[in-house]
């Protein structure tokens, strides 16, 4: 068996892509290893969204290069180094120039060509570059069956973005919005369910812009809810603009659709939202959240924020804090604005000093942290249906997820993995819950 090491950076779409790369390479005799030392093929599946993420790739490549040299010195064969993902898409051949130990570069729409690229890279340096935009061709070429480990899985249903937020590289690295045909998604979902998957998270850069079936994402979710064995459905990431009535209604009446929604707003000031080209105001976002909560009152809201976008004054930042206070989030991700080459915002006047961004990020995180903790603490005393995902770190301990995506720790027998069981929540912590089984269950 040849040893394959894949390191994944960035978003869940990359996690899905990494799994699919392993599926493509398995028939060629590659098996996964979790140590890059001595591996026959090392794939870095990269992220371009912020400068830090991109820089990490180059420092990692420095280390991998030394491993490649050690393997060659030991007479243990050749290590092939591949750079995949969004840095590959954005920087292409530049990567091979900057780090000559790299054998091939493959964009997010081209990794079905990995076997061919590996062969070509060994024939002639410089031929191992593929960065076309054709998600359709890629999905057609991917093996139908997936290797599954666990009871939850990601399932990509949509790729790309046409929104062109002025800070974001995604429309350039992932291309235009494209939806997978519903039939292919249903086939993949049935296949996952047959292998024991109980929960799928539908992925897309703009997942609620999905239009691969009449009726959009709401219709797709309704079809998926009928798949035998699939009990829980989630989707991410959504744009407020594409949150239509049908999808809101689905949250109200589909028990399989979990009460958790990641709906990034990015900022709370209308001036900044306009400069970001977000196409919504703080007010329209708040009204949208109200409509979603009217349909599903217990829904846990999650969000992304950027602090320090060019031109952000203290009072604009204060508007972000006000919006957070008004919505009350169960979880959130916040980032300092990162100036990305080629994006409109990178050329805007009023770039914000690092110290100001640091200070704002700290204040925002403090507020979001309080909200998350309060949300978790509020679960204490409730009985929640928990999907048991895996044995815990200690013997006799289990790890699962609440409907609100909170990790739950409890004691119980291993055979409960894959089941949804009632759990009484005892304590809510900052990032997780502790609970106990409601009744002692007999071994299956």
Name the minimum Å distance from CB 200 to ligand 5AD: 21
Q: Which does 338 bind (CB under 5 to 8 A by kind): ligand SF4, ligand 5AD, none?
A: ligand 5AD
Measured distance CA(215)–CA(222) in Å, rounded: 10
Locate tokens 């204490």: which residue?
380
CB closer to ligand SF4 out of 85 and 171? 171
Those residues whose C-beta lies under 8 Å from the C-beta of residue 73, and which sit 6 or more positions away, are none
* CA angle, 105 then 31 then 186, to 5°: 80
CB closer to ligand SF4 out of 58 and 164? 164
Q: Which does 337 bind (CB under 5 to 8 A by kind): ligand SF4, ligand 5AD, none?
A: ligand 5AD
Name the minimum Å distance from CB 306 to ligand 5AD: 5
Name the minimum Å distance from CB 343 to ligand 5AD: 7
Distance (Å) of CA 234 to CA 19, 181, 203, 246, 254: 19, 18, 9, 16, 11
CB closer to ligand 5AD out of 5 and 337? 337
Measured distance CA(139)–CA(111) in Å, rounded: 10
CB closer to ligand SF4 out of 222 and 280? 280
Q: Which does 289 bind (CB under 5 to 8 A by kind): ligand 5AD, ligand SF4, none?
A: none
Q: Which residue is nearest to ligand 5AD (CB)?
A: 304
Measured distance CA(67)–CA(42) in Å, rounded: 10
Please provide the size of the chain in residues. Answer: 444
Contacts with ligand 5AD, residue ranges (CB under 6 A): 49-50, 167-168, 264, 266, 304, 306, 335, 337-338, 340
CB closer to ligand SF4 out of 279 and 411? 279
Name the minimum Å distance from CB 205 to ligand SF4: 5
CB closer to ligand 5AD out of 91 and 231? 91
Q: Where are the alpha helices (DSSP H) in 74-181?
A: 85-91, 93-98, 114-123, 135-141, 170-173
Q: Return phi, psi of residue 4, to 5°.
A: -115, 125
Measured distance CA(279)–CA(224) in Å, rounded: 30
CB closer to ligand 5AD out of 68 and 262? 262
Element (H, E) at 80: strand 80-84
Q: Which does 306 bind (CB under 5 to 8 A by kind): ligand SF4, ligand 5AD, none?
A: ligand 5AD
Name the minimum Å distance from CB 127 to ligand 5AD: 32
Q: Which does 235 bind (CB under 5 to 8 A by kind): ligand SF4, ligand 5AD, none?
A: none
Contacts with ligand SF4, residue ranges (CB under 6 A): 161, 163-165, 168, 170-171, 205-206, 239
Measured distance CA(267)–CA(226) in Å, rounded: 37
Q: Which does 171 bind (CB under 5 to 8 A by kind): ligand SF4, ligand 5AD, none?
A: ligand SF4
Q: Are the beta carbons of 338 and 52 closer than 8 angstroms? A: yes
CB closer to ligand SF4 out of 133 and 375? 133
Q: How does DSSP classify residue 223?
A: H
Q: Which does 230 bind (CB under 5 to 8 A by kind): ligand 5AD, ligand SF4, none?
A: none
Q: Are the beta carbons of 420 and 400 closer than 8 angstroms? A: no
Name the minimum Å distance from CB 228 to ligand 5AD: 34
b (16+ CB within 10 A) / e for 126-157: eebbbbebebeebbeebeeebebeebbbbbbb
Measured distance CA(44)–CA(85) in Å, rounded: 8
Locate tokens 């140590």: which residue?
35
Name the minimum Å distance from CB 111 to ligand SF4: 20
CB closer to ligand 5AD out of 247 and 307? 307
Name the minimum Å distance from CB 405 to ligand 5AD: 17
CB closer to ligand SF4 out of 86 and 421? 86
Name the minimum Å distance from CB 309 to ligand 5AD: 8
Name the minimum Å distance from CB 230 to ligand 5AD: 26
Please count the other Cβ atoms lying within 10 Å of the Cβ belonging to residue 417: 18
Q: Which does 239 bind (CB under 5 to 8 A by kind): ligand SF4, ligand 5AD, none?
A: ligand SF4
Locate tokens 């812009």: which residue?
209
Measured distance CA(34)–CA(300) in Å, rounded: 34
């Amino acid at each position: 068996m040849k040893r394959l090491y894949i390191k994944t950076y960035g978003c869940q779409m990359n996690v899905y892509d990494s799994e699919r790369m392993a599926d493509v390479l398995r028939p060629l005799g590659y098996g996964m290893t979790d140590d890059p030392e001595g591996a026959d093929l090392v794939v870095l599946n990269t992220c371009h969204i912020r400068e830090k993420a991109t820089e990490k790739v180059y420092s990692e490549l420095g280390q991998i290069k030394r491993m490649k040299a050690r393997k060659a010195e030991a007479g243990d064969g050749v290590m092939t180094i591949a750079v995949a993902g969004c840095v590959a898409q954005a920087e292409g051949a530049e990567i091979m120039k900057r780090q000559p130990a790299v054998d091939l570069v493959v964009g997010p729409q081209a990794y079905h060509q990995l076997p061919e690229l590996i062969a070509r890279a060994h024939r002639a340096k410089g031929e191992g570059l593929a960065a076309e935009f054709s998600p359709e061709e890629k999905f057609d070429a991917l093996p139908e069956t997936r290797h599954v480990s666990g009871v939850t899985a990601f399932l990509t249903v949509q790729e790309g973005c046409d929104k062109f937020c002025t800070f974001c590289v995604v429309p350039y690295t992932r291309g235009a919005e494209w939806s997978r045909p519903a039939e292919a998604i249903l086939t993949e979902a049935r296949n996952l369910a047959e292998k024991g998957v109980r929960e799928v998270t539908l992925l897309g850069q703009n997942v609620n812009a999905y239009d691969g079936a009449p009726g959009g994402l709401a219709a797709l979710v309704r079809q998926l809810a009928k798949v035998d064995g699939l009990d829980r459905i989630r989707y991410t990431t959504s744009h407020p603009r594409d949150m239509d009535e049908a999808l809101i209604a689905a949250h109200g009446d589909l028990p399989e659709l979990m009460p958790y929604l990641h709906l990034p707003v990015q900022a709370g000031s209308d001036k900044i939202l306009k400069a970001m080209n977000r196409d919504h105001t703080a007010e329209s976002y708040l009204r949208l959240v109200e409509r979603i909560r009217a349909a599903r009152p217990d829904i846990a809201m999650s969000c992304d924020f950027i602090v320090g976008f060019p031109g952000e004054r203290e009072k604009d930042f204060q508007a972000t804090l006000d919006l957070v206070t008004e919505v009350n989030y169960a979880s959130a991700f916040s980032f300092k604005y990162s100036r990305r080459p080629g994006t409109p915002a990178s050329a805007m006047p009023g770039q914000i000093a690092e110290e100001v961004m640091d200070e704002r990020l700290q204040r925002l995180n403090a507020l979001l942290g309080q909200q998350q903790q309060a949300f978790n603490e509020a679960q204490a005393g409730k009985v929640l249906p928990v999907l048991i995902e895996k044995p815990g770190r200690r013997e006799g301990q289990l790890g699962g997820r609440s409907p609100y995506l909170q990790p739950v720790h409890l004691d119980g027998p291993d055979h409960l993995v894959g089941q949804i069981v009632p759990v009484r929540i005892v304590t809510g912590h900052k990032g997780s819950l502790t609970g106990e089984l409601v009744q002692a269950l007999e071994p299956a």
